[in-house]
Structure 1
Amino acid sequence: MDLQEFNAAPGDRLRPLLAACCDVRRWVDAVLAGRPYGDAAELTQTADKALRDLEATEVDRALAAHPRIGARAEGAGTEASWSRNEQSGVGDDPEVRAALAAGNREYEDRFGRVFLICATGLSAQEMLASLQHRLTNDETTEAAVVQEELRKIALLRLAKVVA
């Protein structure tokens, strides 16, 4: 849909599309409340500000909607389709997939949440290198990195909604 359609659409039609970008009710509400937007930059600015203001519990909620890196998202929904496309760089190399699976388990044991990375345009080797590097972060640093990765994913997905 274009921006004019986005501005005019009923909120109940947009809510599931926005939740597929970032499954945080307060963020969805903020984006909807900002309508009408004069241009895409204004929409992005509003969405970005609301993403930067997420609380830790909201980030955790949004993470629950994301599959592990290297795991294919199941289902026919918008979010699953986007996730499969975003992770297309993982490829089918069994060694890399095994290393990602092991890294995911180690990350989850260390931080108590799924490893999140904006995978669009990244190779499997780049994702794995980032995972291994981020395992050296302390909790505070990693929480900030996770929120930034979530922000990048949500803004990329929002651009798909309003193309």
Structure 2
Amino acid sequence: MNLAQLNDLPVDEATHTFMQCCTSAAWVSGMVQARPFADKQDLETKADTAWQGLTEADYLEAFEGHPQIGNVDTLRAKYANTKELASGEQSSVSEATEQVIESLAQGNADYLEKFGFIFIVCATGKSAAQMVALLQARLPNDKATELANAAEEQRKIFHLRLEKLI
């Protein structure tokens, strides 16, 4: 798809397309309404603008669109709606040792228990061991700090997906 095609999509198709990038209904609505996009930079700027100032509930809704890092079964089954643009984002997890996978699973459980939402990280280009290290580094944070960290990681993810889209 190119930018002109994205700009010309009917609202329902544009909604579905942006939902592939981020599952926050408020962000998707903002992106659909922000069309037309003059160029790639305009798309990126409007994506950030739509993301800024969302509520905690909006961010949590976006996080729900992700599987837990390392949970490949969940990736395949529960989150098929984003699989087109999410493919390859966790590919390094499948290459990890059993010990690293177990550490990732335990860290994810600890994170979810502490913060009430799953660990969000832009996994592209990171090994499973690097994700374990990032998870462990973020676990001591307070909830407000971690919500901001996760929101920034989500922003990176939707930018990568927009890049794949265009």
CA contact (8 A) 1:70 1:87 kept: yes
With 50-59 and 95-104 compared, the bigger mean Cα shift is at: 50-59
- What is aligned with 2:15? 15
Residue pairs, 1:1-163, within 5 angstroms? 1-72=1-72, 73-75=75-77, 77-90=80-93, 91-162=95-166
TM-score calculated relative to the size of structure 1: 0.93
- 1:161 deviates by 1.6
Which is bigger in relative contact order (C-alpha 8 A, separation at least 6)?
Answer: 1
Q: Please report how far the alpha carbon of residue 81 of structure 1 lies from its aligned counterpart in structure 2 after TM superposition.
A: 4.3
For the residues of structure 2 that align with 1:82 and 1:11, how far apart are their CA atoms?
20
Please, which moves more after superposition, 105-114 or 87-96? 87-96
| Residues paired across the two proteins, number | 162
- Give 3-state SS (helix, strand or coil) of 2:76's partner: coil
Deviations 1:83-117 (A, max 9, x none): 44101121241111111001001111111111110
Q: 2:85·2:165 contact (CA, 8 Å) conserved in 1?
A: no
Letter of the 2:88 counterpart = N
**What CA distance in whole angstroms lies between the structure 2 residues aligned with 1:102 and 1:39?**
43
Cα deviation, 1:33-71, whole Å, max 9, x if unaligned, reads 121111010011001111122210011111111100001
Identity %: 38
Conserved? CA contact 1:17–1:78, under 8 Å: no
Residues in 2 aligned to 1:83 and 1:110: alpha-carbon distance in whole angstroms: 26
Q: TM-score, normalised by structure 2?
A: 0.91
Q: For 2:148 and 2:51, locate their aligned partners in 1 and report how far apart those are by CA, in whole Å.
A: 12
Q: What SS does structure 1 have at the residue aligned with 2:88?
A: helix
Contact 1:52-1:151 within 8 A present in 2 as well: no
User: Retained in 1: the 8 A contact 2:22–2:62?
Assistant: yes
